[in-house]
Amino acid sequence: MKLERGYFTVKDVQFGSPTSMREGVLTIDKKELEDLLLREDENKNIQSLELELVKPGENARIVHILDTVQAGVKVEGDGDFMPGQLSPPTIVGNGKTHYITNFAIMECAELPWAGKSSLLYARDAIVDMTGPAAGYSPFSETFNLILRMEMVSGSSDVEYDNSVRSAGIRCSRYFGEVIREMTPDETESFDFTREVDPDLPKIAYVTQCQNQGTYSNTFLYGHEVGNCVPIRLHPAEIMDGCIVSGNYVWPCFKIPTFIQANLPVVMELARGHGKNWNFVGVVFDRGHNNSHFLKQRVANLAASQVRLMDADGVVISWEGGGNAATDAMLTLQTCEKWGIKAVPFTFEFGGPDGTEGVLLVDDVPEAKYVVSTGSIEKPTTIPKVDRVAGGKELRLRKETGGDPEPADVERTLDVITPFYCGANQSGIGRLAGVPY
């Protein structure tokens, strides 16, 4: 596979007409785009849609964030950026793709909490653009286009999920057309066809996603992966967006679509391929398997894929906060038993000062080299902000009534779970638990 990525970086974003990108300024025809997204929502689940802009450094908070998508377009080569989403499931990874690096499209909506499942509903997610919580999310540094949506009542979770995702995808493609013919500010090429020095260590990457039902799903080439067995993917396929997220259940852990197309371990390994190591491939699978047997089965199959790639070492990411730790740890264990060195990411518990007992949900004795993505049991006081985008109120604690509370006021949250990507295990963040 050979992929050339063309990057556009915006200096500013504004509403205006017509939609265009000129000298780093992205101008967006608000009405045109709003009308388009509403018109194309064929099942009419979106009652209203308003666009908002939030910029880095603003004294602003974004709430009700569901998925976040990147603007991208395949300029040469088979398939679309984010294949299988409103498009055929064509295998991607070759040719040339254009992206805007620092512009994020955020689907924001208060999805109904009327669904009965105790897990499967969109817990409110926060991004603070400045202040003590800004560092929890990579999106405090991007220009964010908020798709602020209100949904009709009486529809089903599956339909709401489809509608919000489709709006985000369509929006991405709208901007994709803007940058299709333009010359990128910067390009980066990845050539996986060249011979690699056989003395370089072979490194693989396992990315274990979350897929527990509607609102917590991940899509591979356009379909959710409830029954998936671990599959080998090429890094270039991932860069072209073959993994799309529909996971809104636990904000701090989720890996939104924008990051799925830019997984930091994939990018780092790809950049060092042929120089520092031989990046032999990616294994994609799903955690939260329902029994020990099923967890062990997926773990073994994933490790087997890693072994089939002849890897010497593997980095393991997992998405989620609970029993998926076991699937990931078992994957690590099987790899280590086969002589493949594994390094996983994990968030921590530990209580407010880190001394309280257990740090991890689960571990295996072989997990001796672990990277921390921070403890989620730390309180954060978020300040009063001038402006809230995506909504007006925060919905916290569905299980005790879920009454809405004002989103702009100062408040102390005693865990990190509501912060978007706050402790996610893709390795994108700089939050870590440090021993004192």
Partner 1 sequence: MGKKIQIVHYINQFFAGIGGEEKGDVPLDFTDEPKGPGVGLSQMLKEKGEIVRTIWCGDNRINQNQGEVLREIKKLIQEKNPDLVIAGPAFNAGRYGLACGMVAKLCDEELDTPVISGLFPENPALEIYKKHGYFVPAAETAAGMRKALPKMAELAVRFAENGKLESALAEGYIPRGFRWNEFVVENGARRAIDMLVKRLKGEDPQTEVPLRGFEQVDPAAPIKDPASAKIAIVTGGGMVPKGNPDKLKQAFSDSFGVYSIEGMDELPSGDFKGIHGGFDSTWVDEDPDRVVPLDVLRALENEGKIGSLLNEYFVLCGIGTNVAASKKLGAEIAEQLKQKEVSAAIFTST
Partner 2 sequence: MQKEAERAGIPAALITAIPSVAKSVGVSRIVTGGGIPYPAGDPSLPADREVEFRRRLVEKALEAISTSIESPTVFNVTLA
CA 217/CA 225 separation, integer angstroms: 7
Is the Cβ of residue 51 or residue 332 nearer to partner 1 in the bound state? 332
Task: Check binding of 429 to partner 1 (CB under 8 A).
Answer: yes
Q: In the complex, what is the shortest distance from the CB of residue 372 to partner 1, in angstroms, rounded to a whole number?
A: 4
Task: Check binding of 227 to partner 1 (CB under 8 A).
Answer: no
Q: In the complex, what is the shortest distance from the CB of residue 272 to partner 1, in angstroms, rounded to a whole number?
A: 8
Which of partner 1, partner 2, none does residue 373 bind to, with CB < 5 to 8 Å depending on kind?
partner 1
Q: What is residue 337's DSSP assignment?
A: H
Nearest to 68, CA basis, from 426, 429, 420, 425: 420
Task: Check binding of 276 to partner 1 (CB under 8 A).
Answer: yes
Identify residues 76-135 at the interface with partner 1 (CB under 8 A).
116-120, 135
Q: What is residue 76's DSSP assignment?
A: E
Is the Cβ of residue 244 or residue 361 nearer to partner 2 in the bound state? 361
Residue from the set 355, 386, 410, 412 that interacts with partner 1 by CB under 8 A:
355
Q: In the complex, what is the shortest distance from the CB of residue 212 to partner 1, in angstroms, rounded to a whole number?
A: 6
Three-state DSSP state, 374: strand
CA-CA-CA-CA torsion sign (278, 282, 283, 287): positive
CA 301/CA 381 separation, integer angstroms: 43
CA-to-CA separations, 339 to 208, 309, 311, in angstroms, rounded: 21, 14, 10
Task: Check binding of 292 to partner 1 (CB under 8 A).
Answer: no
Task: Check binding of 207 to partner 1 (CB under 8 A).
Answer: no
Task: Check binding of 293 to partner 1 (CB under 8 A).
Answer: no
Which of partner 2, partner 1, none does residue 210 bind to, with CB < 5 to 8 Å depending on kind?
none
Q: Rule CB under 8 A: which residues touch partner 2?
A: 288, 290-292, 295, 323, 326, 330, 358, 361-363
Task: Check binding of 410 to partner 1 (CB under 8 A).
Answer: no
Three-state DSSP state, 204: strand
Which of partner 1, partner 2, none does residue 369 bind to, with CB < 5 to 8 Å depending on kind?
partner 1
Residue from the set 356, 384, 392, 403 that interacts with partner 1 by CB under 8 A:
356
Is the Cβ of residue 293 or residue 436 nearer to partner 2 in the bound state? 293
Q: In the complex, what is the shortest distance from the CB of residue 291 to partner 2, in angstroms, rounded to a whole number?
A: 5
CA 209/CA 242 separation, integer angstroms: 13
Task: Check binding of 349 to partner 1 (CB under 8 A).
Answer: yes
Is the Cβ of residue 31 or residue 397 nearer to partner 1 in the bound state? 397
CA dihedral 419, 424, 430, 433 (to 10 degrees): 90
Identify residues 51-70 at the interface with partner 1 (CB under 8 A).
none
Surface-to-core class of residue 133, CB atoms within 10 Å of its CB (0-12 exposed, 13-18 middle, 19+ buried): buried
Is the Cβ of residue 19 or residue 296 nearer to partner 1 in the bound state? 296
CA-to-CA separations, 328 to 271, 308, 322, in angstroms, rounded: 25, 18, 11
Residue from the set 2, 232, 307, 341 that interacts with partner 1 by CB under 8 A:
341
Which of partner 2, partner 1, none does residue 3 bind to, with CB < 5 to 8 Å depending on kind?
none
The position carrying tokens 């998926």 is 324
CA 204/CA 283 separation, integer angstroms: 8
Q: Does residue 104 contact residue 293 with C-beta atoms inside 8 Å? A: no
The amino acid occupying position 17 is S
CA 247/CA 198 separation, integer angstroms: 39
Helix axes 292-308 and 324-337, enclosed angle (nearest 10): 40
Residue from the set 282, 377, 388, 419 that interacts with partner 1 by CB under 8 A:
377
Q: In the complex, what is the shortest distance from the CB of residue 416 to partner 2, in angstroms, rounded to a whole number?
A: 22
Task: Check binding of 332 to partner 1 (CB under 8 A).
Answer: no
Task: Check binding of 197 to partner 1 (CB under 8 A).
Answer: no
Is the Cβ of residue 160 or residue 221 nearer to partner 1 in the bound state? 160
Identify residues 130-169 at the interface with partner 1 (CB under 8 A).
135
- As given in the structure block, the two tokens for residue 240 are 């072209």
CA 376/CA 421 separation, integer angstroms: 11
Residue from the set 50, 310, 353, 403 that interacts with partner 1 by CB under 8 A:
353
- As given in the structure block, the two tokens for residue 163 are 């509608």
Surface-to-core class of residue 27, CB atoms within 10 Å of its CB (0-12 exposed, 13-18 middle, 19+ buried): middle
Q: Does residue 256 contact residue 68 with C-beta atoms inside 8 Å? A: yes
Which of partner 1, partner 2, none does residue 154 bind to, with CB < 5 to 8 Å depending on kind?
none
Which of partner 1, partner 2, none does residue 436 bind to, with CB < 5 to 8 Å depending on kind?
partner 1
Q: In the complex, what is the shortest distance from the CB of residue 247 to partner 2, in angstroms, rounded to a whole number?
A: 18
Q: Does residue 208 contact residue 317 with C-beta atoms inside 8 Å? A: yes
